[in-house]
Chains A and B, each alone.
Chain A
Amino acid sequence: MADPDGQVIVGLEVHCQLDTKSKLFCGCSTDYRSDGPNTHVCPICLGLPGAMPALNKRAIEYAMKVAKALNCEILNESEFSRKNYFYPDLDKAYQITQYDKPLAEGGYLEIESDEGGERKIRLTRIHVEEDPGRLVHMGNVERGKYSLVDYNRAGIPLIEIVSEPDMRSPKEARKFLNKLRATLEYLNVFDSEKEGSIRVDANISIKGSERVEVKNITSYKGVEKALTFEVTRQKNLIRRGQKIERETRHYLEARGVTQAGRSKEQEHDYRYFPEPDLRPLRVRSWLDGIVLPELPDARRERFMAEYGCSLNHARTLTGELKLANFFEKVVASDKRGLSPLAATWIADTLKGELNYRDMSLDLVEPAAMTGLVLLLKAETITDKSGVEVLRVMLDQRLKNEPAETPDAIVKRLNLAKTPGDTGAITKAIDEAITENPKALDDYRAGRSGALNFLVGQVMKKTRGKADPAELNRLLTGELKKREA
């Protein structure tokens, strides 16, 4: 019997839209998202009778950039094939893709393993293909009256990156995806913020059992969620002594569950054969002309060396192109001086606050962040006030209100701590102790929680302006006095 606590094995097939200006086989613009349906179409991407594909050279260059960055081997000759199946969003009733001769094979991507070190995830292949159109269902898919077809997406260039089954947990799968996204962004061939720009199919098994393919994962978080669900489902089946069926399941994003897909009878036979309208690709010689930019791993090492960032901060900061660029702008005026504080404040605080608001980093001015870091560095405000200032800054940008500088916010909210002026703190300490006689008793009884409680009370009264070190010193002194 299979072991329910057996090793989890995950492999991914990641489809990414390449951020070219025109489609893979015609001149139509790829910038369709804000326009009406069927406005970015022509005889070629509509699959009108007689129209023929002409390959977009830039798309191949982009794909080769990715292949080179991921250490793949470009095949001496690759070719396009037709994948035949009927579906209303597939204009030609076949998708032009690559089958037994993909653009590139092999390669690997390094991720941080669950144990902390770096781990190589091997890649099987990278191939180039066209995106199909999209169905827009009027109401629910099952019960809606009808569906409309939008071919704006038809012919958008995709690369499919197939990994070996080298990941050992849903978390590693998420890390793989994040690292892949970062790499593609650094290469400037992919825009992760475009809706639907990445789609993932995952193969997952528990060692000793059949594998299950989970399709239709469309978000970064979705990968971890879908796989976590699958691990639980499969382990439960094994525990109950049942067998895992080899099957295709669909991830339902809204419910966070996977659902059994089509049955065996309806499984597709794609009848692949070479696309006769396109010539074989012999592009290996282009590799020499491809110059790679600094990639996430190199930048991470540089951040540690140049800015003295910790491994964790360097990893977080360089894990997203925009965040890394933002960080470098914020500390530009004083690299060594600002980096330690800026790293923490950007990698931990800012990132958390942005996530909480589901807000894009684009809305934050690096100069404003520099201003905040300078206030913190000068110890003009406490960390707690710093968070408050940051929140005001973000909320103003989010609500499209006039943006105040951090200085102005500090002034308006009277958040500056006044060095040496201990009057307000002393007064607050006095009040806090008087108002909470039980805390004093507890303190006397040696219960350490009492001190923390009182610190909290004083912070509340001073609205966070009290310098924590100062407060600790004064409060302890006062309590000692009263103890005596």
Chain B
Amino acid sequence: MAGTITFEPIDRYNAFLATCNNASHGSGKLAGVPVAIKDNISTKDIETTCASKILKGYIPPYDAHVINLLKAEGAAIVGKTNMDEFGMGTTTENSAFGPTLNPCDTSRVPGGSSGGSAAAVAAGMVRMALGSDTGGSIRCPASFCGIVGLKPSYGRVSRYGLIAYSNSLEQIGPLGKTVNDVSTLMSVIAGYDRHDTTSQDKPYNHTPAAEIKGLKIGIPQEYFGNGVDPDVAGVVKKAIGRLEELGAVTVPCSIPSMEYALAAYYVTTSCEASSNLARFDGVRYGPAPDTKKPWHDAYTEVRSAGFGTEVRRRILLGTFALSSGYYGKYYAKAQVARANVRADFNRIFKDVDVIAGPTMPTVAFKLQEKSDPLSMYLADILTVPANLAGIPAISVPCGKSEGMPVGLQIMGRMFEDERVVDVAYAYEQAVN
């Protein structure tokens, strides 16, 4: 059973940053299945850069917990995929190694930040891939590239080895062409890991079931309001109609705390990132500093040259927001807003089983279409709430607008990942 597979794809979309031409694999649930890994997940002996110059040449001496699990089930780790630098972006344009192109239309972005993983799956280069989702980074590219992507409940998958961007929000999760593949990959990576003490002892042993009769689906008005492309909203409404035909019941609802969701998200992520990324100083790995200079000058040089614009912007924002006298104004307030989002979801989930809406307010942007950071941040409005609340959310293709894929997002109660998978599966089975 064990062996090696040859992996020499023609990478038209710049989906990969590194490939393993002869990838070894073992036996198990994923025996010989080629799996692509987002480049912020540590892989022993394979360069791991987070698409940043500052980690160029860094070869981790250890595997992330999810990589150990994949290997134990026989998967072949065939390569590392492109991304927005350290996960900071919605298009995969913020990569130090050039943007990834959308296989559905190469003039468009694949979404981000797990754009390389999504493109590799969409283009058929691999059957499945791992991404990470801090504010939509799995669901957005899944939506833009027309594949399935799951952000698991916070704590369901170990983050050990995931190079942290915003620890309190992010999760590693599966991307695949089908709900079944995503579910299979999830069953391999979920579970408690003693190295990540925020992980939960909640393994995922589930086979998707298409039965949703009587399921109550909440439809939040905010997911179909201002800023959401009417055509995209129409496609998603039609998809929800299909779910109703399958026996589900829709219930209108509202998430008023969404007003502060983006602000809370960007404050939290920037603060945590400013601290997480401080270790990249050239002392232990990455481009070496000029040792003839005083250490602070050498640090400044390495960090100024090594980080891209968006990363520098967020480090500065986070450093400012955590500064003495500002903590209460920003970080502490953001945590209050997070608690409000969680409370809103808890309230809604008393009456409904899942919440449905579009994954993204639009279809994939043209390359370089979004030039100012603020309008880019606004694109995350529909994905960020699930991260703030920690709940599971899946994106499943539900039709097209302007000829580009549209994603249907299903969010569920905390640790009810199985249920959002089932709803996505029911929809997928009904339309195929």
A273-B327 contact given A51-B161, A92-B279, A93-B279, CB 8 Å threshold: yes
Report yes or no: B198 in contact with A279, Cβ–Cβ below 8 A.
yes
Residue of A47, A269, A278 touching B279 (CB-CB under 8 A): A47
A285, chain B: closest CB distance, angstroms: 19
Interface stretch (choices A82-90, A201-209, A339-347, A408-416) = A82-90
Report yes or no: B283 in contact with A277, Cβ–Cβ below 8 A.
no
B329, chain A: closest CB distance, angstroms: 13
Report yes or no: A94 in contact with B42, Cβ–Cβ below 8 A.
no
Among residues of B, the one whose C-beta sits closest to the C-beta of A49 is B163
Report yes or no: A48 in contact with B194, Cβ–Cβ below 8 A.
no
Tell me the complex Cα distance, A276–B271, Å: 11
Report yes or no: B322 in contact with A277, Cβ–Cβ below 8 A.
no
Report yes or no: A84 in contact with B322, Cβ–Cβ below 8 A.
yes
B94, chain A: closest CB distance, angstroms: 18
Interface string of A41-75 (1 = CB under 8 A from B): 00100111111111100000000000000000000
B22 at the interface (CB under 8 A from A): no
Report yes or no: A50 in contact with B42, Cβ–Cβ below 8 A.
yes
Report yes or no: B323 in contact with A276, Cβ–Cβ below 8 A.
no
Residue of A46, A50, A55, A273 touching B331 (CB-CB under 8 A): A273
Tell me the complex Cα distance, A92–B283, Å: 11
Tell me the complex Cα distance, A92–B285, Å: 12
Report yes or no: B291 in contact with A50, Cβ–Cβ below 8 A.
no
Interface stretch (choices B23-31, B57-65, B247-255, B345-353) = B57-65
Report yes or no: B195 in contact with A149, Cβ–Cβ below 8 A.
no
Report yes or no: B272 in contact with A50, Cβ–Cβ below 8 A.
no
User: In the complex, which residues of chain A have a beta carbon less than 8 angstroms from the beta carbon of B324?
Assistant: 269, 271
Report yes or no: A52 in contact with B195, Cβ–Cβ below 8 A.
yes
Report yes or no: A52 in contact with B160, Cβ–Cβ below 8 A.
yes
B257 at the interface (CB under 8 A from A): no
Interface string of B23-50 (1 = CB under 8 A from A): 0000000000000000011100000101
Residue of A50, A82, A276 touching B60 (CB-CB under 8 A): A50
User: In the complex, which residues of chain B have a beta carbon less than 8 angstroms from the beta carbon of A55?
Assistant: 197
Interface residues in B160-175 (C-beta closer than 8 Å to A): 160-164, 166-168
Report yes or no: A277 in contact with B41, Cβ–Cβ below 8 A.
no
Report yes or no: B197 in contact with A54, Cβ–Cβ below 8 A.
yes
Among residues of B, the one whose C-beta sits closest to the C-beta of A271 is B322
User: In the complex, which residues of chain A have a beta carbon less than 8 angstroms from the beta carbon of B271?
Assistant: 273
A51-B160 contact given A271-B275, A271-B322, CB 8 Å threshold: yes
A44, chain B: closest CB distance, angstroms: 8
Tell me the complex Cα distance, A55–B281, Å: 26
Interface string of B192-224 (1 = CB under 8 A from A): 001111100000000000000000000000000
User: In the complex, which residues of chain B have a beta carbon less than 8 angstroms from the beta carbon of A279?
Assistant: 197-198
User: In the complex, which residues of chain B have a beta carbon less than 8 angstroms from the beta carbon of A47?
Assistant: 279, 284
A86-B197 contact given A50-B161, A92-B279, CB 8 Å threshold: no
B300, chain A: closest CB distance, angstroms: 10
A130 at the interface (CB under 8 A from B): no
Report yes or no: A49 in contact with B279, Cβ–Cβ below 8 A.
yes
Residue of B159, B272, B274, B283 touching A149 (CB-CB under 8 A): B283
Report yes or no: A43 in contact with B62, Cβ–Cβ below 8 A.
yes
Report yes or no: A54 in contact with B194, Cβ–Cβ below 8 A.
yes
User: In the complex, which residues of chain A have a beta carbon less than 8 angstroms from the beta carbon of B327?
Assistant: 271-273
Report yes or no: A86 in contact with B296, Cβ–Cβ below 8 A.
yes
User: In the complex, which residues of chain B have a beta carbon less than 8 angstroms from the beta carbon of A82?
Assistant: 275
User: In the complex, which residues of chain A have a beta carbon less than 8 angstroms from the beta carbon of B295?
Assistant: 88
Tell me the complex Cα distance, A146–B291, Å: 8
Report yes or no: A88 in contact with B283, Cβ–Cβ below 8 A.
yes
Report yes or no: B323 in contact with A269, Cβ–Cβ below 8 A.
yes
User: In the complex, which residues of chain B have a beta carbon less than 8 angstroms from the beta carbon of A146?
Assistant: 291
A91 at the interface (CB under 8 A from B): yes
Report yes or no: B197 in contact with A50, Cβ–Cβ below 8 A.
no
A431, chain B: closest CB distance, angstroms: 74
Interface residues in B260-288 (C-beta closer than 8 Å to A): 271-272, 274-275, 278-281, 283-285
Residue of B167, B280, B281 touching A277 (CB-CB under 8 A): B167
Among residues of B, the one whose C-beta sits closest to the C-beta of A46 is B284
Report yes or no: B299 in contact with A86, Cβ–Cβ below 8 A.
yes
Report yes or no: A50 in contact with B279, Cβ–Cβ below 8 A.
no
User: In the complex, which residues of chain A have a beta carbon less than 8 angstroms from the beta carbon of B187?
Assistant: none
User: In the complex, which residues of chain A have a beta carbon less than 8 angstroms from the beta carbon of B163?
Assistant: 49-50
User: In the complex, which residues of chain A have a beta carbon less than 8 angstroms from the beta carbon of B401?
Assistant: none
Residue of A51, A94, A269, A276 touching B278 (CB-CB under 8 A): A94
A388, chain B: closest CB distance, angstroms: 56
Tell me the complex Cα distance, A54–B105, Å: 45
User: In the complex, which residues of chain B have a beta carbon less than 8 angstroms from the beta carbon of A54?
Assistant: 194-197
User: In the complex, which residues of chain A have a beta carbon less than 8 angstroms from the beta carbon of B159?
Assistant: 52, 277
Tell me the complex Cα distance, A48–B61, Å: 9
A92-B194 contact given A50-B160, A84-B322, CB 8 Å threshold: no
Interface string of A329-362 (1 = CB under 8 A from B): 0000000000000000000000000000000000
Tell me the complex Cα distance, A149–B272, Å: 26
Query: Which of A46, A48, A55 has the largest number of chain B CB atoms within 10 A?
Result: A48
B319 at the interface (CB under 8 A from A): yes
User: In the complex, which residues of chain B have a beta carbon less than 8 angstroms from the beta carbon of A276?
Assistant: 166-168, 198, 272
Tell me the complex Cα distance, A272–B214, Å: 48
User: In the complex, which residues of chain A have a beta carbon less than 8 angstroms from the beta carbon of B197?
Assistant: 52-55, 277-279
User: In the complex, which residues of chain A have a beta carbon less than 8 angstroms from the beta carbon of B274?
Assistant: 84, 271
B55 at the interface (CB under 8 A from A): yes
User: In the complex, which residues of chain A have a beta carbon less than 8 angstroms from the beta carbon of B299?
Assistant: 86
Among residues of A, the one whose C-beta sits closest to the C-beta of B160 is A52
Interface string of A92-105 (1 = CB under 8 A from B): 11100000000000
Report yes or no: A86 in contact with B278, Cβ–Cβ below 8 A.
yes
B267, chain A: closest CB distance, angstroms: 11
User: In the complex, which residues of chain A have a beta carbon less than 8 angstroms from the beta carbon of B283?
Assistant: 88, 149
A91-B323 contact given A43-B61, A50-B60, A52-B195, CB 8 Å threshold: no
User: In the complex, which residues of chain A have a beta carbon less than 8 angstroms from the beta carbon of B281?
Assistant: 86, 88, 93
Among residues of A, the one whose C-beta sits closest to the C-beta of B272 is A276
A273-B275 contact given A43-B61, A49-B55, CB 8 Å threshold: yes
B263, chain A: closest CB distance, angstroms: 17
B interface residues with partner A (beta carbon < 8 Å): 40-42, 48, 50, 55, 58, 60-62, 64, 159-164, 166-168, 194-198, 271-272, 274-275, 278-281, 283-285, 291, 295-296, 299, 319, 322-324, 327, 331
Identify 6 new A-B residue pairs, CB closer than 8 A, beyond the known A47-B279, A278-B197.
A43-B62, A48-B42, A50-B60, A92-B279, A93-B278, A273-B327
13 contacts between A and B (CB under 8 A): A43-B60, A48-B62, A48-B284, A49-B55, A49-B163, A52-B159, A52-B160, A54-B195, A54-B196, A93-B275, A272-B322, A276-B272, A277-B164
Query: Sorted from nearest, which 3 A-B pairs have the closest CB atoms?
Result: A93-B278, A271-B322, A276-B167
A interface residues with partner B (beta carbon < 8 Å): 43, 46-55, 82, 84, 86, 88, 91-94, 146, 149, 269, 271-273, 276-279
